[in-house]
Amino acid sequence: MGLAERGDTDELGGGSAPLRGWSTSGNLTTGNATQQFSLQCDFTKAAGPGSYTVQFGIAQPSRGGGGSGLGGALAQALIITSVKGNSVQRIVTIGGGTSVSVTGEALKVIVTDVSDAAFYQTGNKYNVSVQVAPGVRATTETPPTLVAPKSGTTHDQGPGFFELPAATTLPIPIPQNAGVVSVKIVVSANSPNPASPINASSLQANQQNSAAGTNGPSWSPIVDTGWIPIVGGMDTLLFLNPAGGQTLNIGVVYGIDG
């Protein structure tokens, strides 16, 4: 597995003073999912086990790579915390200023490019930075987020973005072992008249456990536009656009604990 170009880890504090934080950065390349860099923190050498915040920065690349896809990049972080050998992990999409609060004795952050060549230009280099310091992130209405994975169908239109014609159902995976606690769905009309209002009954979403064949909560994303809790054990979001309706554009982003 290839390593990204990276800067030296900076364990703030220095000398005999207790560590007050950690940071590193690395260069990634769009379309190269094998390139990654990581940061490891031992909180027992700092203030001890407790609450810490991981914060990210990203310098988006300029266009100029291969293909005619989107400029920019999509990067993802795997955040693993552990206490006495037991670990918990979260996965977040990295944006400028993205932050996640964690609790544990130790932490590992692995940063990877996930710019899909179907949507993004490939071969463009960009930089991601990671900082870790004691304390918790500011309380906001918006949690850390993870862009929904592709459905693997022709309905995929971009990162977390799907097109759903009338009389169509579409299952989208709920990422497992990623810390997903909620979902937010944004809906707009595609055709025949993008400016026309969307009927509240035009789209239904349902949480499911596909392996067990059980259903969880269902709702109308056109009416309930905020964050919807994800019930434990659910692995699929199933969307239904009834016959006779409009073609809809659906944006899906998951809220991550932290």
Amino acid 50: pLDDT: 81
Residue 197 falls within a domain, yes or no? yes
Residue 105 falls within a domain, yes or no? yes
Q: Which domain holds residue 71?
A: 5-134
CB atoms within 10 A of CB 111: 26
Beta bridge partners of 12: 21
Q: For every one of its 258 residues, what pLDDT tens digit does the chain have, with 9 covering 90 and above?
A: 344 433 334 444 444 445 678 999 999 999 999 999 999 998 887 777 788 899 999 998 876 655 556 678 899 999 999 988 899 999 999 988 899 999 989 999 999 999 988 888 889 899 999 999 888 877 766 889 999 988 888 888 888 999 988 888 999 999 999 999 999 999 887 765 555 667 666 789 999 998 888 888 999 998 888 999 999 999 999 999 887 778 888 999 999 998
Amino acid 14: pLDDT: 45
CATH number of the domain bearing residue 249: 2.60.120
Rounded CA separation 41/17 (Å): 16
Amino acid 56: pLDDT: 95
Amino acid 40: pLDDT: 93
Given 106, 134, 162, which residue is the final one in a domain? 134
Q: How many residues belong to the chain? A: 258
Same domain, 56 and 121: yes
Same domain, 67 and 40: yes
Amino acid 67: pLDDT: 56
Amino acid 63: pLDDT: 64
Same domain, 60 and 174: no
Same domain, 9 and 125: yes
Same domain, 85 and 181: no
Same domain, 123 and 165: no
Rg (Cα) of the chain, in Å, rounded?
20
Given 83, 111, 134, which residue is the final one in a domain? 134
Same domain, 113 and 171: no
Number of folded domains in the chain? 2
Residue 152 falls within a domain, yes or no? yes
Q: Do the beta carbons of residue 78 and residue 109 sit within 8 Å?
A: yes
Residue 140 falls within a domain, yes or no? no
Residue 238 corresponds to which tokens in the numbers above?
Answer: 């199933």
Same domain, 150 and 35: no
Residue 35 falls within a domain, yes or no? yes
Amino acid 153: pLDDT: 85
CB atoms within 10 A of CB 99: 17
Diameter of the chain by CA atoms?
71
Amino acid 64: pLDDT: 60
Amino acid 7: pLDDT: 39
Amino acid 117: pLDDT: 86
CB atoms within 10 A of CB 59: 14
CATH number of the domain bearing residue 58: 2.60.120.510
Given 87, 114, 134, which residue is the final one in a domain? 134
